[in-house]
Amino acid sequence: MHRFHLPPTACLGDRLTLTADEAAHALRVLRLSVGDVVTVLDGAGTEVVCNIENLSRGAVSLTAVERRTHERPFTAVMLLQAVTKARSMDVILQKATELGATGIVPVLAERCVPDFTPREAERKRAKWQAVTVEAMKQCGTAWLPVVHPPMSLRTVLAEVGRQPDGLALLGDLAPGTESGREMFARQRRSPEWPPRLIRLWIGPEGDFAPQEYEAIRASGAVSMSFGPRVLRSETAAIYGLSIIAHELQGEAGAGR
């Protein structure tokens, strides 16, 4: 079934309308017809199964047939990702969406190649959010991760300091660092398991600088090894999020 995205306010009634890019995709790419069944995701836990009622030049009119509501995950997973080159950043955003990240903070670390003006930062954020929308439609998740504007490492650490709760993990290349299996086995023995929030820090190409590692650890992050090999930044993000998704499988949803 073909999936589309509309914001929550556009999914409230029994009549929904696809416009702009979503309508163009339905009309010109998929060549859908009256009577076809599609799914609309609002990115906030609601999935609406619809029939196509009418097609016009720039709009597709839908009638809601079934409405499904999905629980918000009990544990929010925030990816704190040092900004990488454009293509690999898109891959990270796509896979983070597929693996259940609920938020993505692009971090401007010392060894990041890009540097943005405030206007460029907002343009990038909008582009990156669009990447997650397409990934949401592809994988069928009901929850769209929020992509924040790019922030300096200092700004992110200040925000973490204001909200220190949860579990913070740092992908770390240092010899002797605890493996994900060991770290989560220990965390599971804690009365605080599962946490309401897990933050995952992933460095850029060239990794975090030594003083950045020190500052992130000082904020409460627990170092976690991804194995003996040096991984590309996008591989490390996928690896880390996969470990977290595996460890959270089967945990209770909202209201635990």
What residue spans define the domains of the chain? 2-69, 76-248
For the domain 2-69, what is the CATH superfamily, name and number? Hypothetical PUA domain-like; domain 1 (2.40.240.20)
Q: How far apart are CA 121 and CA 134, in angstroms?
A: 20
Q: What is the pLDDT of residue 57?
A: 85
Residues of the chain with pLDDT under 70: 114, 250-256
Place of tokens 């992050």: 221
Residue 85, SS3 per DSSP = coil
Handedness of CA 103, 168, 249, 107 (dihedral sign): positive
Closest CA to 254 of 43, 72, 70: 72
- For 76-248, CATH number out of 3.40.1280.10, 1.10.10.10, 3.30.1360.70, 3.40.50.300 equals 3.40.1280.10
Q: What is the pLDDT of residue 97?
A: 97
Closest CA to 81 of 156, 158, 141, 138: 156
Domains 2-69 and 76-248 share a fold: no
Q: What is the pLDDT of residue 251?
A: 67
Query: Does residue 149 have a cis peptide bond before it, meaning omega lies within 30 degrees of 0?
Result: no
Q: What is the pLDDT of residue 184?
A: 93
Q: What is the pLDDT of residue 113?
A: 72
Q: How far apart are CA 211 and CA 73, in angstroms?
A: 34
